[in-house]
Amino acid sequence: MNHLITSFITVSFLKRPGVLLFIGVLLFSCANDEKKELASAIDIPVFQEMQAELTSPPKVPRPVGERKAKKLIVDMEILEKEGEMTNGVRYVYWTFGGTVPGSFIRTRVGDEVEFHLKNHPDNKLPHNIDLHAVTGPGGGAESSFVAPGHEKVFSFKVLNPGLYVYHCATAPVGMHIANGMYGLILVEPEGGLPLVDKEYYIMQGDFYTEGKNGERGLQPFDMQKAVNENADYVVFNGKVGALTGDNAITANVGETVRLFVGNGGPNLVSSFHVIGEIFDKVHIEGGNRINENVQTTLIPAGGAAIVEFKVDVPGTFILVDHSIFRAFNKGALGMLKVQGEKDKTIYSGELRDDIYLPEGGGIQSMPTTEEFVEAEVTAKTLAEQLKFGKQTYMQTCFACHQGEGQGVAGAFPPLSKSDYLNADVDRAIGVVLNGLTGEITVNGEKYNSVMTRQNLTDEEIANVLTYVYNSWDNSEQVVTPEMVNKVRSNSNL
Amino acid sequence: MKINTLRRLFFIGCLFYYGIVCCQSKGMVFIEGSRYIPLYGRDSTVVEVKDFEMDIFPVTNAEFLKFIALNPQWQKSKVKKLFAEENYLNNWLNDHDLKSGVNLKSPVTYVSWFAAKAYCECMGKRLPTIDEWEYVAMADKELRDARVKKSYNQQILAWYETPKTYNNLIGENSKNVWGVYDLHGLVWEWTLDFNSVLISGESRKDVDKDSNLFCGSAAIGATDLMNYAAFMRYAFRGSIKARYAIKNLGFRCVKDVN
């Protein structure tokens, strides 16, 4: 019967889909009072009022779970305050809620958020907030422009699920963001995101200081560097070391970890990566689409992503912006410490430490793309031999045998006052020509290492050995190209 | 008629109490007018500033106390809510005393635009316009227009990053080339037309008046992109209303020169 009526209405209102939908819903609700299909998130009714739980990074508020949409009161205080960027470097941060990034806001689709933005009276500047989760002009910025000592209230209904950035949008906008005025607001779908064991809040930002990276003292913001996008610091959660050492985030083996990762910018895009983990799931750009098995996910400035992974083995996993100099030179580095039982099948740890011999049989050569060319200039005097020999030494031998032929104790034998060297010149030529592997004793110390075969001409070998023999209290032996050639052609040597 | 008479009496009363006879400009300096390009000029072009005199220092708590004693309608307890919000003189204990820790020689803050305007008028002066204020404020110790100097901008920004300067006393910062103190480094100051940048749509052609100082429009409207210290002043002015009383906001007066 219902079906018949619906068909009839479908025909008669074919050109008026809005009306059709309305009646369709009505009919449906008559047939089944329990389940109401809502046309859109706009129609989700709210029940009761609730104070939003706000958290400082890296913590996140409790999941929404099954709760119904509510009127959610968010109290956010803006504080301009001095903090520490890294050891000895002070910076005046502008913050939402006293932290960089600002407090995490957790909502669900349909919530009506009543936002109270409070600008502390001690602050110097006016501020506002643009929440990317808001559907409306300026994302709330227009309605929230607030002078020091004042409070602005506005409200919005969250319509689209996802992870969104919020930030200050007061002129000069770039400066307000560069000083730390950003954070994340999560809009969970109805019923909430699937529950996981651990959830954390991480946000990257780039900072521009008048002094260069590490320069001590109170560092003012440098507008020119910001315009040039030449960051002194790129950090997670507002400072170097916010997520390392004692501040590291933690999990236990077997747990699933969900990271809400944002990027406040102002300028740089993040290539977010966790060393030693593969993201099982990534909500790309914080939206609905899920990608699986991701190594590195791109997080745009003013954007976010939700990444999830199960931790299977214990250890310290390093969170980085894989634009890697940012991680190791500018601060974009965090740690996830995982405790629990090892699983040797998944990851064995170091089993052996062997010598690697790509050519087998103890003879190695450095890979080369071209045939070597005879040196164009031939040494005519001992002085020239020493001069050319030194050049070859500095290019080829220096790294291991060091500047004064002293070698490196326990690893690379000395050439200075070397009994092994001075005892047999043909042997020395052979070593340079063919490389040397295995245990030898030099000046009473045992060495067991590998010297690769050197791609040098007879003349170059003659020169470099002459240089070595005539330096550092050695025997002052002179080596000629003919001597080298003789050894080269005699494979027994 | 009646109102005019009252006004005249009020004015004369002020002159009497403050011992001001005529156009003596005690505590003021002469500012020679000129033409310059402010951050937001009318049509982003040159504006003209006529000769005027400006208070050397911002108005202090002590001076405002005297004013209030003689003009009870501006007392904390009596002021009309229309002219000053609840915060008005928040750092005063009552109508006659400051709270402990608040210095008489500190600039008066927590004053509304209405109160500041009334004070200046009582003194036979007026609040400076934005153009006048910015004109004097672009000077440093040596130059009348120091905006191109890196050190000029740096000093101002250093202040923006120094907390609680409203507790400082007047005159601690060095005076600029005009002989005026504390335009930067102490408190923000009211201007007569503080809200004109935002509400006069015609001041920025091609930009409708909704797009205030948010996001992009601010950058487009500026004539001096690097003077971001000035950006912040304009943003501040845009955020306030005439009845606001703010901890960081004081004022000084100017006077026309005939």
Least confident of A202-206, A228-232, B192-196: B192-196
Same domain, A65 and A176: yes
Minimum CA–CA partner of A226 in chain B = B226
Work out the percent of chain A whose per-residue pLDDT is above 90.
Answer: 55
CB contact under 8 A, A220 and B232: no
Which value does ipTM take for this structure? Answer: 0.77
pLDDT of residue A57: 96
Q: What is the pLDDT of residues A266-322, one digit of tens each?
A: 999 999 999 999 999 999 999 999 999 999 999 999 999 999 999 999 999 999 999
Q: CA-CA distance, A143 to B8, in Å (whole number)? A: 42
Domain of B112 in residue numbering reads as 2-256
Same domain, A261 and A206: yes
Same domain, A55 and A186: yes
Least confident of A132-141, A201-210, B21-30: B21-30
The CB density around residue A311, as the number of other CB atoms within 10 Å, is 25
Same domain, A47 and A181: yes
Same domain, A52 and A189: yes
Q: Does A79 touch chain B (CB under 8 A)?
A: no
Mean pLDDT of A241-257: 94
Rounded to 5°, the CA angle B103-B108-B113 comes to: 170
Same domain, A235 and A309: yes
Q: Which helix (H) or strand (E) holds A174?
A: helix A173-178
pLDDT of residue A393: 87
Q: Does A125 touch chain B (CB under 8 A)?
A: yes
Residue whose structure tokens are 């669900």: A108
Q: Establish whether A401 is an annotated binding residue.
A: no
pLDDT of residue B11: 53
A6 in a domain, yes or no?
no
Q: CA-CA distance, A301 to A311, in Å (whole number)? A: 28
CB contact under 8 A, A142 and B214: yes
A440 in a domain, yes or no?
yes
Same domain, A100 and A215: no
Q: Establish whether A181 is an annotated binding residue.
A: yes
Domain of A157 in residue numbering reads as 41-195
**CA separation (Å) from A23 to A7, A20, A39?**
12, 5, 12
Q: Does B185 touch chain A (CB under 8 A)?
A: no
Minimum CA–CA partner of A83 in chain B = B161
Same domain, A254 and A191: no
Q: What is the DSSP string of A389-410?
A: HHHHIIIIIHHHH-TTS--BTT
Q: Chain A closest CA to B31's CA: distance in Å?
A: 28
Q: Does B143 touch chain A (CB under 8 A)?
A: no
Kindly report the average pLDDT of chain A as a whole number: 86
List chain B pLDDT tens, one digit each, 258 residues. 455 555 555 555 555 445 444 444 789 999 999 998 876 544 557 889 999 999 999 999 999 999 999 999 999 999 999 999 999 999 999 999 999 999 999 999 999 999 999 999 999 999 999 999 999 999 999 999 888 787 888 888 888 878 788 889 999 988 999 999 999 999 999 999 988 765 322 223 334 444 444 434 444 444 444 567 777 888 888 888 999 999 999 999 999 987
CATH number at residue A182: 2.60.40.420
CB contact under 8 A, B164 and A81: no
A26 in a domain, yes or no?
no
Q: Does B208 touch chain A (CB under 8 A)?
A: no
pLDDT of residue A19: 43
Same domain, A142 and A209: no
pTM: 0.70
Q: Establish whether A120 is an annotated binding residue.
A: no
Give the one of A147, A175, A218 whose C-beta lies nearest to B244's C-beta: A147
Same domain, A323 and A461: no
Q: Structurally, how many domains does chain A consist of?
A: 3
Q: Structurally, how many domains does chain B consist of?
A: 1
Minimum CA–CA partner of A149 in chain B = B246
Q: Does B214 touch chain A (CB under 8 A)?
A: yes
pLDDT of residue A371: 43
Same domain, A145 and A216: no
Instruction: Check residue A424 and report its DSSP letter.
Output: -
Candidates A78, A93, A124, A181: best to mutate against B (most CBs of B within 10 A) is: A124
Question: Half-sphere exposure (CA, 13 Å, Cβ side) for B143?
Answer: 9
Contacts of B20 (CB under 8 A, 6+ apart): B14, B26, B123, B124
CB contact under 8 A, B235 and A173: no
Q: Does A92 touch chain B (CB under 8 A)?
A: yes
CATH number at residue B137: 3.90.1580
Same domain, A173 and A275: no
